[in-house]
Amino acid sequence: MKILAFAAALALVAGAAAADPVEGMWKTKPDDNGNYGHVEIAPCGAAFCGVLVKAFDGAGKELDSPNVGKRIVWDMTAGGDGAYGGGKVWAPDRDKTYRSKMQLSGDSLAVSGCVLGGVICRASDWTRVK
């Protein structure tokens, strides 16, 4: 019985050590309306996805937004050296979905993407919520 408990504890420690650096809570840059959100990025299958968990107005007051709980980022795959790509990002303020990539550098996540074959592009720097 002690061996099983030790093996289970070891598996939990190994899983925590294997967490990808992009995992966690990220504060988005304010959108066209001055609103911003907290997006939680976590593994979803072999990729990474992000869900809007809180929304705020420009003054920092929490909003009761219908977008809370919705997927903002999906299908992002790690490419090494902090690069993630092949995914999509949905911008609620414009209700557009962008083919996207992300670049992680410390506690900053550069998120960029394009629609219409690269005609309309957008970029935003998110910061890690501690």
CATH assignment of the domain containing 80: 2.40.128.520
Over 94-130, what HEC string results? CCEEEEEEEEEECCEEEEEEEEHHHCEEEEEEEEECC
Q: What is the pTM of this model?
A: 0.83
Instruction: Give the count of domains, the chain.
Output: 1
Q: 29-46 pLDDT, tens per residue?
A: 998 889 999 999 999 999
111 within some domain: yes
Do residues 27 and 129 touch, judged by C-beta distance below 8 A?
A: yes
* 8-state DSSP, 70: S
* Residue 119 confidence (pLDDT): 85
11 within some domain: no
66 within some domain: yes
Taking the C-alpha atoms of residue 104 and residue 108, their distance in angstroms, rounded to an integer, is 6
Taking the C-alpha atoms of residue 116 and residue 95, their distance in angstroms, rounded to an integer, is 14
> What whole-number percentage of the chain has pLDDT above 90?
76
Domain that holds residue 60: 21-128
